[in-house]
Amino acid sequence: MPADRPRRPASLIGPAVVVVLVAAYAALWLIARPAGQPTGRYLGEMAGMLALLLLSLALVTSSGLMGVLEPAFGGFDRVMVWHRGVAVAGVLLVIPHWILVSGPANPYRSGIADALGVIAAVGLAVLVLWAFAPRLRRVQTIRLIAKMASSTYERWRIGHRFTGLFVALATVHAALVDPVLHKSRLLLAAELLTGAVGVAAYLYRELLAQRLTPVYHYTVQEARQLNQNTIEVGLKPIGKQLRFSAGQFIFLALGAPEQFDYHPFTVASAPADEELRLSVKASGDDTRRLYADLRPGIDARVVGPFGMFDYRLGEPRQVWIAAGIGITPFISWIRALNGSLDYQVDFYYSAADEASTLFADEITAATARYPSLTLHLIRTDRDPPLTPSQIWSAHPITRSSVYMCGPPEMMRTFQQELRAHGVAPDHIRWEQFGLR
């Protein structure tokens, strides 16, 4: 095994903490139930408190504390997967909460308290629907919403910044109106602590994270055309240079601060290179504008690095799968090789046609230098599309680590089929770049 193999992150700690906190909070409510509380309403209040806990955890996982969160969950993308999961679960728990607490008379209800609860619940539900609408295009009734949500990411991002306010309103609403909290100081203290943690994480993200996060200043050195809609951007450091591992990504803003917002791009260069290279495909609204306006001399601001997409954490035998612009982290790995590749790698690269096959000469040259790297190039204009069955029929796939990067739908399909064929979940790694 190579000496430079990085330490594997304890990627189960974060999920385990989430599960334990939810279980412990539910157990506390079952044990500390005050006398005389109707079962239905009590379960409804319990659902509301679990919703508050999950929404507070969603704020913690979006707080910007990636130095702690990434190792605990196994990467930026997995932090975001858990962030979405706990947020959706929290909003869904509001439904049984509303249904069950609307029964017996509650002497603590008031117009103001009810209004706070409605604003919080509706606001959070709208944000969840907005976030998931682009993924639900197949549902006829929400295609219009999906189209609108896809083209207004910045509006959604601004709206997302209100989540902490909604959680704060929900915390106050519960403290005012919940009869259980009026009868149990222990449960009231747990509720206030839960809401306070979420709001504190929100305030840290909004007020401190940007000031405490290092920003690296670069300038655009060159923009090299790779094909009709993809360019490779070379950035020259101004002052301190970003340190990263091959396969990681950064958040990049180009031009004056009011021109571009930060967007994620995988680094294509090797860590030892002075120039920071990124592959940019004109796909979304902002990348199309960036692609059209990019020119040497433009200022660039870089935040990062993020991600744990690192083949050195894998098994001695590996399968790499790239499609389209997903070639970028693999070309960074290849450029970072320094004389040897101590892994047996079968590299499947799927591209639409010759023009879409990026870095072909570099990859071919690397296979000549490193005999343990075997390239399988699939061009869909002449070859059948790449399928998981092609891979497992040719390799002992259950004993291999699989690294993938490409269109999300393709990656999800490959992940499902590879797991169904017996590949362990922790042997499959792909960056899930959906940030909402």
**Domain map of the chain by residue range?**
13-212, 216-306, 312-430
Share of the chain above pLDDT 90, in %: 40
Of 75-84, 223-232, 329-338, least confident by mean pLDDT is: 223-232
Position 354 confidence tier, pLDDT thresholds 50, 70, 90: confident
Distance CA 345, CA 318 (A): 5
Task: Give the pLDDT score at 396.
Answer: 74
Question: pLDDT band for position 104 (50/70/90)?
Answer: low
Task: Give the span between the Cα atoms of 136 and 139, in whole angstroms.
Answer: 6
Check residues 181 and 5 and name the one with the higher pLDDT.
181
CATH number attached to the domain at 216-306: 2.40.30.10
The mean per-residue pLDDT over the stretch 303-310 comes to 90
- pLDDT tier at 147 (50, 70, 90 boundaries)? very low
pLDDT band at residue 218 under the 50/70/90 scheme: very high
**C-beta separation of 73 from 82 below 8 A:** yes
Is pLDDT at 148 greater than 50 in this prediction? no
Of the options 1.10.3470, 1.10.10, 1.10.4100, 1.20.120, the CATH number for the domain spanning 13-212: 1.20.120
Q: What is the pLDDT of residue 159?
A: 58
Q: Would you say residue 153 has pLDDT above 60? A: no
In whole angstroms, give the CA distance from residue 402 to residue 416. Answer: 13
With DSSP H G I counted as helix, E B as strand and the rest as coil, what are the percentages for the chain, rounded to 5?
50, 15, 30
Closest CA to 55 of 118, 124, 110, 106: 124
Residue 297 has what pLDDT? 85
pLDDT at site 246: 92
Residue 325 confidence (pLDDT) above 80: yes
Res 145 pLDDT > 70:
no
Looking at 102-106, 212-216, 398-402, which range is the least confident one? 102-106
Report pLDDT for 293. 65
Please tell me which residue, 153 or 108, carries the higher pLDDT value.
Answer: 108
Confidence of residue 373 (pLDDT cuts 50, 70, 90): very high
Longest dimension (CA), the chain: 78
Q: Which CATH class is domain 312-430?
A: alpha beta
pLDDT for 349: 93
Task: Tally helices (H) and strands (E) across the chain.
Answer: 16, 11
pLDDT for position 119 = 87
Instruction: Among 199-213, 283-297, 309-323, name the one with the lowest average pLDDT.
Output: 283-297
Q: Which two tokens stand for residue 135?
A: 């993924």
b or e along 189-203 (b: 16 or more beta carbons within 10 Å of the residue's beta carbon)? ebbeebbebbbebbe
- Average pLDDT, stretch 60-68? 88
Q: Mind listing the pLDDT tens digit for each residue in 284-301?
A: 555 566 666 677 888 889
Average pLDDT, the chain: 84
Q: What is the pTM of this model?
A: 0.81
Confidence of residue 133 (pLDDT cuts 50, 70, 90): low
Q: How confident is the model at residue 10 (pLDDT cuts 50, 70, 90)?
A: low
CB-based contacts of 81, cutoff 8 Å, min separation 6: 432
Higher pLDDT among residues 1 and 25, named by residue: 25
For the stretch 245-272, pLDDT in tens is 999 999 888 776 545 577 888 899 999 9
In this predicted structure, what is the pLDDT of residue 353? 86
Residue labelled with tokens 């990411």: 153
pLDDT at 139: 45
User: Which pLDDT score is estimated for 110?
Assistant: 79
